[in-house]
Amino acid sequence: MRAIVTVTGKDTTGIIGRVCTCLAENNVNILDISQTVMQEFFTMAMLIDLDKSKKPFAELSDDLAALGEAMGLVVRTQREDIFTLMHRV
């Protein structure tokens, strides 16, 4: 299964490293990543593959959200099929 992870918040050192480390520790592959800093605000979107994940989707999503909260960020994880349906024109 593939999913979209979005990260937003005030830019600080280590955001990409900590999010990617969490994914790597759970055997999640990053297929594509885009990030930018707009003035002092950080935004990142990732397409991930959870086929070999050590944790089920819901648990990994909760872990990423908690990591984001601890860093003062908003981290959302959404299944690719749901994301695609929500953004269809």
pLDDT by residue (tens digit) across 18-42? 999 999 999 999 999 999 999 999 9
State the distance between the two ends of the chain, measured CA to CA, in whole angstroms.
23
pLDDT by residue (tens digit) across 47-65? 999 999 999 999 999 999 9
pLDDT given at position 20? 98
For the chain, domain boundaries: 2-86
> Which residues does residue 79 pair with via DSSP β-bridges, in sequence order?
3
Element spanning 64, H or E = helix 57-71
pLDDT given at position 89? 62
| CATH number, domain 2-86 | 3.30.70.260
